[in-house]
Amino acid sequence: MSNSDLNDLAAELADFAPPEKKGGRSAIEERVIAGFKDIQRFTEKHGHTPQHGEDRDIFERLYAVRLDRLRALPDFSTLLEPLDYQNLLSADPAEETIDIDDLASELAGVADGGDITVLRHVRTSAEKRAAEAIAERKPCEDFETFKPLFGGVQADLKTGLRQAQLIKAGRRAIDAGDFFVLDGLTLFVAEVGEPLKTTAREVDRRLRVIYSNGTESNMLLRSLQRAFYDDPAARRLASPESGQLSFGDELEADDVESGTIYVLRSKSDHPYVAQHRDLIHKIGVTGGKVETRIANAENDATYLLAKVEVVATYKLAGINRTRMENLFHRLFAPARLNITINDRFGHPVQPEEWFLIPLFVIDEAVVRIKDGSITGYFYDPSAAKLVKG
């Protein structure tokens, strides 16, 4: 086979190529395998090899052309035969070989400007995938068991205990108990089955996936991963207990720092503040430098019109700053400092971000937010500690 034939085939399969790897198979071989796997998946789903014909789906016809070409190129027999568990290559080649120019002519009626990559009246791959996924779903008979979980996820998102994170390449791990948003629906991975043998020594698993609209499916893990790739709006609803929240002093290399939680102590000479100075703390979150935030504290009633000292800070990443601040304020609401001072213009003001809490309790709260156990605790002002509910 000529080099031009190899290059033509590689170009045809370029859209299906995985990232090139150092060492191992060549880029052309990887592309050929990726294209062959598409044909295998089609055959598994529809129960027959892709066929030619005007009455066939446009993508089935493209797969049929690709299969004819792979059968006609003996150079790839050694590469593909170990993967060919369906005996696709050993089938008799089509009597009529259709080359790419013939296919372009055949599809002229649905092409825009003669470009077969621009399709008219044909659903996009995302639309086809969504329709197929919906068709494979069925009503979830025990949805009432799972319904409270979806409500809890929404509450966690509002409080900042859970984050909607972009699903990055290389970070598509799926475990039982995970929540995701896909095609506008929240989904819950209720079960992850035993490993299944697949082609090319890959490992797959059957999932039980529950959707927020009361349906479920038993899709394969790798199918769900591909769906994430196809939907740019897909998100992982990460939780502290999953270990996926970026919160703490150490950030991963590709994490974006969202801000800093800071704890302040007032230097006010107000009699009550002076008497309980070691217990009165202000908790806030800022996206900038804490020093800049408090630079004019003595002129701001929010800071009790006095200078402050920073007694603790905690870095955070990938978390909504406002929601995190609100979470702390709700947690320690029973210990909110009830004090009224006059601002610079003599108007009475009641600052709301100061609390009568020992510093060690704030430290504990940070740890429990990080490991996810904070949901089982509340603050008891009489005992001055977090108590398990």
Give the pLDDT confidence score for residue 141 in this predicted structure. 92
Contact 187, 223 (CB under 8 A): no
Mean of all residue pLDDT scores within the chain: 75
- Within 10 Å of residue 285's Cβ, how many Cβ atoms? 24
pLDDT in tens, 5-51: 545 555 544 444 444 444 467 777 777 888 888 899 888 888 888 88
pTM: 0.40
Rounded mean pLDDT, 125-143: 65
| One-letter identity of residue 148 | P
Supply 65's token pair: 């052309």
pLDDT in tens, 263-296: 999 999 989 998 999 899 999 888 888 888 898 8
pLDDT tops 80 at residue 131: no
pLDDT tops 50 at residue 119: no
| One-letter identity of residue 255 | D
Q: Which of 278, 357, 276, 342 is nearest to 306 (CA)?
A: 342
Helix/strand/coil for 286 = strand
Q: How many residues does the chain have?
A: 389
pLDDT in tens, 152-198: 888 877 766 677 777 766 555 788 888 999 988 999 999 988 888 76
- Residue 233 banded pLDDT, cuts 50, 70, 90: confident
Helix/strand/coil for 354 = strand
Rounded mean pLDDT, 123-127: 50
Tokens 């008891």 identify what position? 380
Helices (H), the chain: 3-12, 27-46, 58-71, 77-80, 100-106, 125-136, 143-159, 221-230, 271-275, 290-293, 321-331, 359-371
Rounded Cα–Cα distance for residues 377 and 199 (Å): 48
Which of the 8 DSSP states describes residue 267?
-
In the chain, % of residues over pLDDT 90 = 13
Rounded Cα–Cα distance for residues 355 and 280 (Å): 6
Contact 282, 313 (CB under 8 A): no
- Within 10 Å of residue 29's Cβ, how many Cβ atoms? 14
